[in-house]
Amino acid sequence: MAKNMNLKLKVWRQKNKEDKGRFQIYDATNVSPDMSFLEMIDVVNEELIKKGEDPIAIDHDCREGICGSCGVYINGRPHGPLREITTCQLYMRHFHDGQTIVIEPWRAAAFPVIKDLIVDRSAFDRIIAAGGFISVNTGGAPDANAIPITKDDQEWSLDAAECIGCGACVAACKNASAMLFVSAKASHLVRLPQGKIERERRALAMVAQMEKEGFGSCTNTEACSAECPKGISMDAIAQLRREYFKANFKVRK
Amino acid sequence: MKLESKVPAGGLSQKWTNHKFNLKLVNPANKRKYDVIVVGTGLAGASAAASLAELGYNVKIFCFQDSPRRAHSIAAQGGINASKNYPNDGDSTYRLFYDTIKGGDYRSREANVYRLAEVSNNIIDQCVAQGVPFAREYGGLLDNRSFGGAQVSRTFYARGETGQQLLLGAYSALMRQVGLKQVQMFTRREMLDVVLIDGKARGIVVRNLINGDVESYAADAVLLCTGGYGNVFYLSTNAKGSNGTAVWRAYKKGAFFGNPCFTQIHPTCIPVSGSYQSKLTLMSESLRNDGRIWVPKNPGDKRAPGQIPEEERDYFLERKYPSFGNLVPRDVASRNAKEMVDADKGVGSTGVAVYLDFNDAIKRLGRDKIEEKYGNLFEMYELITAEDPYHVPMRIYPASHYTMGGLWVDYNLMTTVPGLFALGECNFSDHGANRLGASALMQGLADGYFVIPYTLGGYLAEMKKEKVSTDHPAFKECEENIKQNVRKLLSVKGKRTVDDFHRELGNIMWNFVGMSRSENGLKTAVEKIRTLREEFWNDVYIPGSNEELNQSLEKAGRVADFLELGELMAEDALQRRESCGGHFREESQTEENEAKRDDENFAFVAAWEYKGQNVKPELHKEQLVFENVQPSQRSYK
Ligand SMILES: Cc1cc2nc3c(=O)[nH]c(=O)nc-3n(C[C@H](O)[C@H](O)[C@H](O)COP(=O)(O)OP(=O)(O)OC[C@H]3O[C@@H](n4cnc5c(N)ncnc54)[C@H](O)[C@@H]3O)c2cc1C
Ligand code: FES
């Protein structure tokens, strides 16, 4: 069985939105390789509390990679060194004894820090409120099998719909663009017959809100997709660009 | 106070139709004059808020996460049931109703369950219209699978992420209404009290989790959609934030608590690896279709699984239940695993696990087939444990998963407090003493999309409309109590952390109020919980202050409530001297050591009324009447 490790944590501490924030060094001792990254933080926090210090604030909930709450920069990468997992799915066996781990919050103008590693991602909700839906009321839906959908379209749609809204794409992007997030939602819906009806309106409204929220523009560096814990592909962005272009064209006509 | 279930008269299949017709309506132009508060943004809350806003009500909705999309419903994997009968295999409203009543071991209300089955198909239609990308066949129609031992294929799914896709559907409907300004969204708020004026629920008081402000909101009705309390066990498959605070505070305001002891323990979870363990990950039950569960025959056998020869293995489920084998219901599988561990036959470094072995299945079907069926689950297992289940048997152990108990509600989903409703996992209705797989998602959405839009209207149309404002003394009093409670928590300044207490409570609950319960054990639990509660209030240490984001303080409030709720669970388990569903009373067994239900004495819903701090709560009984199904003893031999 692998041995327990001693690590150094260099953690971003920031009391609130107004505070400037700074790095602080902590020891994480006797860390089992079978601990999850968040469990390691739990243990460090328990120690901090016992010493009368303020524990490190970090968002988390499901701890199984689906709610999108967790998400921090770990050694310069969103959600840490492994591909296609979230912070809560990272295990300490991927670090080695004596290593220093740098932990920071998402950095983006549209995601202000609330405390330590917790940021405000409500901009994402406002983008969805602007157009990330199909306008159907409860009650009037036709039979679920009334409109067949090819397996291909369904799978494609689901690939995009898997986005967990964690914000890693924004954090990974040097422009802090939200294109991958927005395009994932647009692609999810536009690939289904039900979602085609509002395609133009949706693309325009979501992109307009994205710009209003202060996200940067997309320059196709592909860092977002590389760091996405759900592996959402750049195809989504290409799709949204087409949607947006067509919609704009139509509106101007 | 008399419990009135308000089940409408008439034949089973006509009850809901008649009731909808008889309910008073709120005139369309008047709907905008009503304010409705929804607490919780999971399947139940999001679907209710969206549907009510579409009707024209003014809705305010609250959650403790940073976004409504993060509610715990997001984590459901397997699927959602409906009686569409698309596969042509004999499903019907009646069969889904029957299976659910039977699955609940005859401890739920016939009329509620029938309604659930009746609206199940509308849910699927609604979700598809919203753009939920359910699995499909090559011909473009929806695919179904059979789930949790059901004999028909009625489960709709989207890979292993059905909960996520359903919630994103409901969330998008909700956000559309937020965009239309028909719903006001409040995130990072924790509801800490319900406000009653003239005996009716007229609002809530919340703590703003960012800055500690105590805020009041008034309304004409309050809907609790706050999920289950499985985290009373500390370790569970629930999200870390899931808690019982909202329902507990409502209970203390007069809402009766129904069947608090009915909890579900899921057999296939990844076991604990060390004392730092913070949650347990569920692995789909479908694994039991091909995996074989075993332990070494000899106690204390610490050899690696590969070194234990076939004749020294005990495939205990296959041995004891030859006809169902590894596919026995959740509670039977869980209890037997615990028995093996208690007999020192547990496996792995902690000895608290049993093997789930795919070796034979791989030999029989080939690795490719197994990979195709379970590839994702195997990957997830390896990610967490660093062991390759294609070569080494998985280790599994049961974990707390779902709570059938919850606030008692009548047929209209109203609690015993007028104007206070409970939807989704936080109410007690529909699942009796045990829940079938893929039925919780169905219930949450049934309540939110298709039941509450009617029954809430019925209540509002009949209530005398009087505006209240948050300046009312009742609000001020609640605010003051909450502030005082926070001060009290912060001023203990003891030595132990909140998690430390929660872990200890979890241990007590797991050992005495878990899979197998006895008179002595439950009495011990009550004593231990009381002592622990006292210790908590004398020795807990919470760093920081109220006026900031303080995660320790948030947890402390929830654990303080769990320390009370746990006792009620034990009390309830104590009075229920029968085994039924997920509740196994050691004193009530057949000669073959199987669960023995006692319909003569216990065919009732236990509804507990709060009587004051440290006063024994009063038990009310809602007798269950079975007019359509004949309760039968289950047998899996
Ligand atoms: C791992 C896992 C897998 C599952 N798989 C399935 C499955 O395949 N099929 C199935 O049918 N069921 C499944 N279930 C069960 C099912 O997911 C839940 O029962 C269901 O989603 C509960 O929905 P809900 O809307 O009642 O509550 P939740 O989704 O738990 O939502 C609760 C909401 O209430 C809010 N809240 C709670 N307390 C407060 C408070 N005090 N103040 C403010 N807000 C508050 C939360 O913020 C949240 O928004 C699974 C459960 C788990 C744990
Ligand atoms: S905590 Fe839910 S994704 Fe990590």
pLDDT tens sequence across B477-524: 999 999 999 999 999 999 999 999 999 999 999 999 999 999 999 999
User: Two tokens at B250?
Assistant: 């409502």
Assess whether B396 and B430 both reside in one domain: no
Say which of B84, B239, B386 has its CB closest to residue A61.
B239
d(CA B600, CA B393): 44
Q: How confident is the model at residue B2 (pLDDT cuts 50, 70, 90)?
A: confident
Which of A133, A210, A204 lies closest to A169, judged by CA?
Answer: A210
Work out the angle at residue B259's Cα, subtended by the Cα atoms of residues B258 and B262, and round it to the nearest 5 degrees: 140
The atom of ligand 1 lying closest to the CA of B401 is: 53
- The CATH number of residue B316's host domain is 3.90.700.10
**DSSP assigned state of B569:** H
Are A5-114 and A122-252 the same fold in CATH? no
Which residue, B349, B383, B400, sits at the end of a domain? B400
Q: How confident is the model at residue B592 (pLDDT cuts 50, 70, 90)?
A: confident
Is pLDDT at A5 greater than 60 in this prediction? yes
Assess whether B28 and B59 both reside in one domain: yes
User: Which of B31, B54, B64, B551 is best to mutate for the A interface (most A CBs within 10 A)?
Assistant: B551
Work out the angle at residue B635's Cα, subtended by the Cα atoms of residues B632 and B637, and round it to the nearest 5 degrees: 160
pLDDT for res B192: 98
List the catalytic residue out of B107, B188, B330, B558.
B330
Assess whether B390 and B437 both reside in one domain: no
Task: Give a yes or no: residue B157 inside a domain.
Answer: yes
Question: Are the CB atoms for B561 and B482 separated by under 8 Å?
Answer: no
Is pLDDT at B373 greater than 90 in this prediction? no
Residues 6+ apart with CB under 8 A from A5: A30, A31, A33, A92, A95, A96, A97, A98, A99
Rounded to a whole number, what is the distance in Å from the CA of B307 to chain A's nearest CA?
Answer: 18
**Owning domain of residue B365:** 265-400
Assess whether B458 and B342 both reside in one domain: no
Assess whether B232 and B320 both reside in one domain: no
What mean pLDDT is reported for chain A? 96
List A residues 100-159 in contact with B (Cβ-Cβ < 8 A): 114-115, 118, 120-122, 124-125, 128-145, 147-151, 154-155, 157-158
Note whether A68 contacts B: Cβ–Cβ < 8 A: yes
* Calculated CA dihedral for residues A218, A219, A225, A229, nearest 10 degrees: -50
The percentage of chain B sitting over the pLDDT mark of 90, rounded to a whole number, equals 93
Question: Are the CB atoms for B449 and B174 separated by under 8 Å?
Answer: no
Q: Do B176 and A49 touch (CB under 8 A)?
A: no
Query: Beta strand B35-39 with B221-224: parallel, antiparallel or unpaired?
Result: parallel
d(CA B502, CA B562): 8
User: Two tokens at B420?
Assistant: 């206070």
Element containing residue B585 per DSSP (H, E) = none
pLDDT for res B404: 98
List B residues 66-85 in contact with A (Cβ-Cβ < 8 A): 66-70, 72, 74-75, 84
Task: Give a yes or no: residue B95 inside a domain.
Answer: yes
Assign residue B269 a region (left: φ > 0; alpha: ψ between -120 and 50; beta: otherwise): beta
Q: Do B274 and A91 touch (CB under 8 A)?
A: no
**DSSP assigned state of B326:** G
Work out the angle at residue B362's Cα, subtended by the Cα atoms of residues B359 and B367, and round it to the nearest 5 degrees: 130
Q: How confident is the model at residue B323 (pLDDT cuts 50, 70, 90)?
A: confident
pLDDT for res A253: 60
Q: Give the tens place of pLDDT for each residue, B215-262.
A: 999 999 999 999 999 999 999 999 999 999 999 999 999 999 999 999
Domain A122-252 in CATH 3.40.50.720? The answer is no
Task: Give a yes or no: residue B6 inside a domain.
Answer: no
Assess whether B193 and B277 both reside in one domain: no
Is pLDDT at A251 greater than 90 in this prediction? no
The residue whose CA is least distant from atom 37 of ligand 1 is: B226
Q: Give the tens place of pLDDT for each residue, A155-182.
A: 999 999 999 999 999 999 999 999 999 9
CATH topology assigned to domain A5-114: Ubiquitin-like (UB roll) (3.10.20)
Assess whether B489 and B606 both reside in one domain: yes
- The CATH number of residue B147's host domain is 3.50.50.60
Note whether A47 contacts B: Cβ–Cβ < 8 A: no
- Chain A CB contacts of B499 under 8 Å are 42, 46
Q: Do B240 and A162 touch (CB under 8 A)?
A: no
Task: Give a yes or no: residue B257 inside a domain.
Answer: yes
Which residue, B400, B421, B442, sits at the end of a domain? B400
Say which of A115, A122, A136 has its CB closest to residue B67.
A122
Ordered alpha helix ranges (H), chain A? 37-50, 122-131, 151-161, 168-172, 179-190, 193-196, 199-212, 223-227, 235-252
Backbone angles phi, psi at A28, to 5 degrees: -115, 110
Assess whether B173 and B57 both reside in one domain: yes
Element containing residue B221 per DSSP (H, E) = strand B221-224
Domains in chain B, number: 3
Say which of B140, B176, B210 has its CB closest to residue A148.
B140
Rounded to a whole number, what is the distance in Å from the CA of A83 to chain B's nearest CA?
Answer: 12
Please provide the size of chain A in residues: 253
Residue B367 appears among annotated catalytic residues: no
Question: Are the CB atoms for B537 and B599 separated by under 8 Å?
Answer: no
Assess whether B68 and B193 both reside in one domain: yes
Say which of B125, B127, B168 has its CB closest to residue A142.
B125
- The CATH number of residue B616's host domain is 1.20.58.100
CA distance readout (Å), B143 to A112, A152, B84, B85, B129: 43, 14, 11, 11, 16
Task: Give a yes or no: residue B4 inside a domain.
Answer: no
- Chain A CB contacts of B68 under 8 Å are 125
Give the 3-state secondary structure of B525-553.
Answer: HHHHHHHHHHHHHHHECCCCCCCCCCHHH
Q: Give the tens place of pLDDT for each residue, B211-224.
A: 999 999 999 999 99
Note whether A64 contacts B: Cβ–Cβ < 8 A: yes
**How many other C-beta atoms are found inside a 10 Å radius of the C-beta of residue B614?**
9
With CA atoms as reference, the chain B residue closest to A92 would be B384
Ordered alpha helix ranges (H), B345-402? 359-365, 367-385
**DSSP assigned state of B143:** P
Q: Which own/partner pairs from A204-208 qualify as long-range (CB within 8 Å, at least 24 positions apart)? A: A204/A131, A204/A244, A204/A247, A204/A248, A204/A251, A205/A130, A205/A131, A206/A127, A206/A128, A206/A130, A206/A131, A206/A132, A206/A182, A207/A182, A207/A240, A207/A244, A208/A130
Assess whether B421 and B355 both reside in one domain: no
Element containing residue B242 per DSSP (H, E) = none
- Chain A CB contacts of B500 under 8 Å are 46
Q: Burial, A10: exposed, middle or buried (Cβ in 10 Å; 0-12, 13-18, 19+)?
A: middle
Is pLDDT at A25 greater than 90 in this prediction? yes
Assess whether B374 and B497 both reside in one domain: no
Q: What is the DSSP string of B404-456?
A: --EE---TTSB-SSTTEEE-GGGB--SSTTS--TT-HHHHHHIIIIIIHHHHH
Query: Beta strand A73-74 with B214-218: parallel, antiparallel or unpaired?
Result: unpaired
Note whether A80 contacts B: Cβ–Cβ < 8 A: no
Is pLDDT at B535 greater than 90 in this prediction? yes
pLDDT for res B26: 96
Q: How confident is the model at residue A1 (pLDDT cuts 50, 70, 90)?
A: low
Assess whether B374 and B504 both reside in one domain: no
Is pLDDT at B157 greater than 70 in this prediction? yes
Task: Give a yes or no: residue B629 inside a domain.
Answer: no
Query: Beta strand B155-156 with B80-81: parallel, antiparallel or unpaired?
Result: antiparallel
Task: Give a yes or no: residue B206 inside a domain.
Answer: yes
d(CA A35, CA B179): 42
